[in-house]
Structure 1
Amino acid sequence: MMMLGRVREVKQSVVHLRHLCHNPQRHIQDLELLKCFKSEIQFELSSNHFQNAQTGSLGDFVMEPDSLSSKDVVLRRKFDSGEEVAVSAILGPPNYEEGTVFPRDAFMKVSPTFLKPSNYRGPLFSTLDNELQHALKEYLIVKGIGVSLTNFLLHYLHKREQEQYVNWLKKGEAAFLATEGSLRQSVEGLQ
């Protein structure tokens, strides 16, 4: 019985060697791809992209639990009066301006929770009367939505996106190794 197991092992090794001999270019490309996965994961884990960013704070807001696959973050704050304010934030498209700490801006939606959702989105903030813009900014500051919270959200959203990216890379690497089982032995030789 022991001999039969050893024969199977040798047979599998011969099949593996034949595969490598018939398709050595593919094997080299696979190893290159795997090296790229490992290099990118190492780079992301070792670099601190946002070390010069102000981290800010949540203040009196409480963050709702979120999953790593979620794109937005929801914060809530309940006031002594019973009023509750919810803030939903999500990263916007890439920002290519020079000198910015974060590569993307955050979009935030602020609403008192007692209001029912509306299909009317309203005009763009920048098109509102200047006095109304100023009054709305003051309202947000009174509710605790200021620079510190904005900095916290920007930092948190970017860090979470980086974590999601690293998880995606690790899953890609694992899936690649699972389908390319023959590479596993070669990879161990690389380490």
Structure 2
Amino acid sequence: MKFGSIPTSGGEAAAKTTANPVMQALQRASQTTGVDFSYLVKTAQRESSLNPRAKAPTSSAAGLFQFIEQTWLATVKSHGAKHGYGAYANQIVKGANGRYSVPDAAARKQVLGLRYDANAASTMGAELTAGNAAYLKGRTGRNPTAGELYAAHFLGPAGAAQLMQAHDSRPGASAAALFPQAAA
């Protein structure tokens, strides 16, 4: 079973991939990571309206999947080399405080600029999803739903696990009460 599996009516999304570079990038990311293509398309649609140049006006979030800087740097550091981004991954260092950085200003600009590249963003978005799925399964003992994976995209995997566990133990609990900052 693919991570992020979402029931669809068939190949409607796959049919839209021809001649669309963003959809082609999402398809390649799905094929190389095992993350469901429909999930990737729907997430990129929600996050950026499938615009690889999208930039949030109020945060560092950018690109198809609206990666914030720290999440992008961590994901490229962890997965970049296996997808041809090793030179970028090698520029990223993890500090003693757990934060990622790129010491060279020009290299930092290039690494963060990859968020606007449909291929890089799609692949890293898929890798992030696969990692979130594995984390959530480990914490809850079951495969996460597409909605739970999306919650991990914006709450982080620990926040999504907390949400899932709260839902299982208190089905009527308000997500806004559990995560007031995210709800604001």
TM-score, normalized by length of structure 1? 0.24
Kindly indicate whether structure 1 or structure 2 has the higher relative contact order, using CA contacts under 8 Å at least 6 residues apart.
1
User: Higher helix share goes to which structure?
Assistant: 2
Q: Which has the higher strand share?
A: 1
Q: Of the two, which has the highest radius of gyration?
A: 1
